[in-house]
């Protein structure tokens, strides 16, 4: 059974492995910095005691939320784990009365776009050459003040 819990520093190496496997191309040290700034927005998914996914959710200066990173180990994809971790982030944002959350996704990452649309995100713009390889990003946003979205449940500890 998958369980969602807060990130702990000893999870760092697994999170980095998952991020590299997912080709997030982000500086892993930034994950620790964000954890220090927003510890209540860093969740991991565990399967039988092994970290298999994570989400990093931060606050923006204007009071909105931003999904900085989300990834799931390849062997555990398409099992609802990203949805479970994102739903924990949405709960955290709602507790903080955050009006919306946004994220960026590669224009060619159709599975991720489908996931985000299914969770209530809508496209609000394109960020030209956003990624280091020159690929554009879609900017997507979800209103958190509306009705709750359906979600897949897991255990949060």
CATH of 2-156, one of 3.40.1260.10, 3.40.50.300, 3.50.50.60, 3.40.630.30: 3.40.630.30
- The pTM for the full model equals 0.88
pLDDT at position 147 is: 53
The Cα 111–Cα 32 span in angstroms is 27
Task: Tell me which residues of the chain have a pLDDT lower than 70.
Answer: 146-157
By three-state DSSP, how is residue 125 classified? Answer: strand
- Please give the DSSP secondary-structure letter assigned to residue 147: P
Strand positions, DSSP E, 13-150? 42-47, 50-59, 65-72, 100-106, 122-127, 137-143
pLDDT at position 151 is: 45
Dihedral over Cα of 28, 154, 3, 41: its sign? positive
The Cα 52–Cα 124 span in angstroms is 30
The Cα 134–Cα 16 span in angstroms is 23
User: For the segment 46-61, what is each residue's pLDDT rounded down to a tens digit?
Assistant: 999 999 999 999 999 9
pLDDT at position 155 is: 47
Q: Determine contact, residues 53/1, Cβ cutoff 8 Å.
A: no
Kindly list the strands in the beta sheet with 155-156, ordered across the sheet, starting from the edge strand earlier in the chain.
Answer: 122-127, 137-143, 100-106, 65-72, 50-59, 42-47, 2-6, 155-156
């Amino acid at each position: 059974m998958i369980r969602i819990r807060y990130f702990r520093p000893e999870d760092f190496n697994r999170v980095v492995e998952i991020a590299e496997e997912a080709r997030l191309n982000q500086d892993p040290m930034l994950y620790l910095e964000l954890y220090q700034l927003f510890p209540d927005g860093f969740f991991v998914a565990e399967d039988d005691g092994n970290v298999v996914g994570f989400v990093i959710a931060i606050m923006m200066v204007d009071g909105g939320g931003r999904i900085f990173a989300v990834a799931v180990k390849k062997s555990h994809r398409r099992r609802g784990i990203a949805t479970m971790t994102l739903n924990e982030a949405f709960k955290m944002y709602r507790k903080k009365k955050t009006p919306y959350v946004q994220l960026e996704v590669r224009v060619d990452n159709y599975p991720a776009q489908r996931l985000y649309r299914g969770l209530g995100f809508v496209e609000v713009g394109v960020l030209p050459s956003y990624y280091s390889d020159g690929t554009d990003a879609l900017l997507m946003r979800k209103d958190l003040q509306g009705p709750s979205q359906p979600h897949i449940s897991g255990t949060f500890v």
